[in-house]
Chain A
Amino acid sequence: MSNIYILCVEDEPEVLEAVIRDLAPFERVFPIESASTVNEARRVVAECILPKGKLGLVICDHILPGEDGVSFLVELQQDSRTVAARKVLLTAHAGLEATVEAVNLASLNHYIAKPWTQEDLLNVTRRQLTDFVLEQETNLYPFLTILEADRLTEKIRQAPLPSDE
């Protein structure tokens, strides 16, 4: 099984640290990578994530030094290797225009407004990653302990079984 990565893009170190700390329960199954600019994020995806696995979830701030977060999400949406990744915007100041662009061009999956609560972030992450593995993975058992077991179970029960006993 190739790894499914979570990527966090955030320019303020304390905020990035807080996000990663909040997501720690997922780290065992979903390795977390981080970046502070779009340029760095692009490099992390190309050099650290794609050679070893898939990008499952991006949690991205909008206001970043240099290019903004939404344009990075749009870019991921246009690349066939990352189009399946679930895209979450975690921001305080995305204007209407940027948000509309994110929804229309990046198929934004969720918008979390700062400040966030850990519970909220965990729930969103769990739901988005569950959507990702339901869509992308054939072997769902490894995720039963950590993602939404009910939805995974339903899919497992409906899938044909290997039956050469």
Chain B
Amino acid sequence: MTKKQMLGLGLGLVGFLVPWVVDLPGLNFTGQVTLGIFLMAACFWVLEPVPIYTTSLLVIFLEVLLLSAEGPLYTMSRPPTVQPAAATDVPGVWLPGATLKSERFVLIERAGTAPQQLEVEILERQGDQIRVRQANLSTNELVWTKPDHWQATYRPSSYRTFFGALADPIIILFLGGCLLADASVKYRLDRALTRLFLKPVGERPAMIVLGLLLATAVLSAFMSNTATTAMMMTVILPILARMPEGDPARIAVVLAIPVGANIGGIATPIGTPPNAIALAALQKAGIHIPFGTWVMMALPLVLITLVLCWVLLVRLFPANAKAVKLDLEGRFDRSSKALVLYGVFGLTALLWFTEQQHGISSNIVAFLPVVALPMLGVVGKKEIHALPWDVFWLMAGGISLGTAIRDTGLAQWMVGSVNWATLGTFAILAGLAFFSYFLANFLSHTVTVTLLAPIAITLGASGQAGSGFSLATALVTIAVASSYGMTLPISTPPNAIAMGTGVLETRHLVKAGGLIGGLGMILVLLCARYYWPLFVH
């Protein structure tokens, strides 16, 4: 275990325990418990003493244990209750004085939910007993003798809510996307498409870089960025052998792949997990962005960025070679199963893009390939087992943590401690974008968005950010900005793969990634200010 990991483990445990010991003013007990889980998860996700997806699973487990109605913390610390005693010859019932809340109310036990509060009229006091009048208070009811118990104001969620994050509709959307991508890899549709895209670019190195950027971006809009990068590397590295050693264009060619993959991921909801996390958070807040709308919002940004990347890469790493021959092999598989795959893929994509016309949510459409591909024998158990379950679980932990932060009032409390109104709506948006970009350079992009989404949700819901603040714009901004975090080899797995080829040095990546990120931030903010508000409010 490295020092960094030990630090992460220590800080995480301290973060988890502090809210149990220190009483934070204005935050209720369950909010404090959630804060503990949040602090621990943040330390674990940032410093990685354990793999990040296992942190997600731990988050779900702790939520079930500590926050759910079925969890041991809730069931074992139920407050004591007493039955009212009937008064003889006089009106009302007798209760211990301790049951009184604010001298006017008592709390009646209601199984599985928060207690019912009843206003009572005090008729008589005798020692620590009181006689009260309340029409609905019979001697069969159970009255809380500790009305200031932490459970008095807390309505716990069922453990189904927390476990349910593992099958959140957004996870299903991703499941569908991943299965389509895996099937495409199995039947080499990805390679065949790459060949199709690269055919028209000719032999000039600059055009090849453009072709690679576009091909990678298109594929990574539907496949995981990492899988796209891995596939494209196997396509381009043998080509690289034909370029003279020491030609800077070799660097441009290799860099085009991770850059294209990272940027291409922005284009669709299934392009990369951060998009899905943002959409899941929005759905919980009652805002649904259809698949096609997301693409309309993201596509101009993606295209402009890709053109800028192309200019940058070609300028930074100009080619010495006049021409490089691309002879790519890879034909479209015409077996019957491959044809079924093309059909299912086409139908799913069509339904995704026409969501606004037929009104069937893209999350539901995503289940079509999940049902059809295994049923028709296009994929088997092997592909099902090979799905990226760790990614699904990582996302689920984030979704479930977001729910807990909102439901326990923690988000409200966190946001309330800053005076946002003085900042201005656009400044808040810009702040979120830069913070997301900054974190994404060091953390997993999914984790970045997971940590920032609840803050944005609460800002929007609390109205603290001003009336011009659009929740949807804010979350799209956070998700998109995170995809630009690609300065360092550790920023994203595509970067790590590109570095692993041995063709690049870190400084190449830092130079290109940093410039693209900086330009990207300007573009993102322009979109957030002038373009995205045309689609979402």
Q: A residues within 8 Å of B by Cβ? A: 1, 28, 139, 141-142, 144-146, 149, 152-153, 156-157, 160-165
Contact = CB atoms under 8 A, between A and B. Distances in A.
A53 to B, nearest CB: 14
B425 to A, nearest CB: 30
Contacts of A157: 185, 230-231, 234
A28 B241 CA distance: 12
Contacts of B422: none
B53 A141 contact: no
A145 B238 CA distance: 5
Contacts of A145: 237-238, 240-241
B493 A142 contact: no
Contacts of A1: 502
B194 interface: no
A163 B234 contact: no
Band of interface residues on B:
35 or more
A19 B446 CA distance: 52
Given A149-B237, A162-B493, A163-B390, A141 B502 contact: yes
A146 B245 CA distance: 12
26 contacts: A28-B245, A139-B500, A141-B237, A141-B502, A144-B240, A149-B234, A156-B233, A157-B231, A161-B226, A162-B226, A162-B493, A162-B496, A163-B226, A163-B388, A163-B390, A163-B391, A164-B53, A164-B391, A164-B394, A164-B444, A164-B446, A164-B493, A165-B224, A165-B273, A165-B444, A165-B493
Contacts of A160: 386
A165 B227 CA distance: 11
Nearest to B51: A164
B31 to A, nearest CB: 29
B492 interface: yes
Best-surrounded residue of B51, B234, B445, B496 (most CB of chain A within 10 A): B234
A161 B225 CA distance: 11
B224 A163 contact: yes
Contacts of A164: 51-53, 390-391, 394, 444, 446, 493
B113 interface: no
A146 B241 CA distance: 7
Contact of A141 (B224, B233, B444, B493): B233
A21 to B, nearest CB: 18
A15 B391 CA distance: 56
Given A141-B233, A141-B497, A144-B501, A165 B238 contact: no
Given A164-B53, A165-B492, A144 B445 contact: no
Contacts of B487: none
Contacts of B444: 164-165
B272 interface: yes
A144 B230 CA distance: 12
Interface in B466-505: 492-493, 496-497, 500-502
A162 B491 CA distance: 13
B336 to A, nearest CB: 22
Nearest to A25: B241
A141 B500 contact: yes
B248 to A, nearest CB: 16
Contacts of B388: 161, 163
Interface in B141-162: none
A114 B234 CA distance: 36
Contact of B445 (A141, A142, A165): A165
Interface in B48-72: 51-53
Contact of A163 (B185, B240, B245, B493): B493
Contact of A161 (B52, B230, B240): B230
Contacts of B231: 157
A153 B496 CA distance: 17
A156 B390 CA distance: 19
Best-surrounded residue of A142, A145, A162, A163 (most CB of chain B within 10 A): A163
Interface string B167-209: 0000000000000000001000000000000000000000000
A143 B230 CA distance: 14
Contacts of A144: 233-234, 237-238, 240, 501
Given A141-B501, A144-B237, A165-B273, 8 more contacts: A145-B237, A149-B238, A161-B226, A161-B388, A162-B497, A163-B224, A164-B444, A165-B224
Contacts of A163: 224, 226, 388, 390-391, 493
A141 B245 CA distance: 17
A161 B233 CA distance: 13
A-B CB proximity, top 6 nearest: A144-B237, A142-B502, A153-B234, A145-B241, A149-B238, A141-B501
B391 A156 contact: no
B429 to A, nearest CB: 24
Interface in B219-277: 224-227, 230-231, 233-234, 237-238, 240-241, 245, 265, 272-274
A136 to B, nearest CB: 16
Contacts of B237: 141, 144-145, 149
B272 A165 contact: yes
Contacts of A162: 226, 493, 496-497
B464 to A, nearest CB: 31
Nearest to B498: A141
A157 B53 CA distance: 23
Interface in B281-314: none
A157 B181 CA distance: 13
Contacts of B265: 165
Nearest to B231: A157
A165 B391 contact: yes
B394 to A, nearest CB: 7
A149 B496 CA distance: 20
Contacts of A152: 234
A154 to B, nearest CB: 9
Interface in B432-464: 444-446
B230 A165 contact: no
A13 B446 CA distance: 60
Interface in B362-395: 386, 388, 390-391, 394
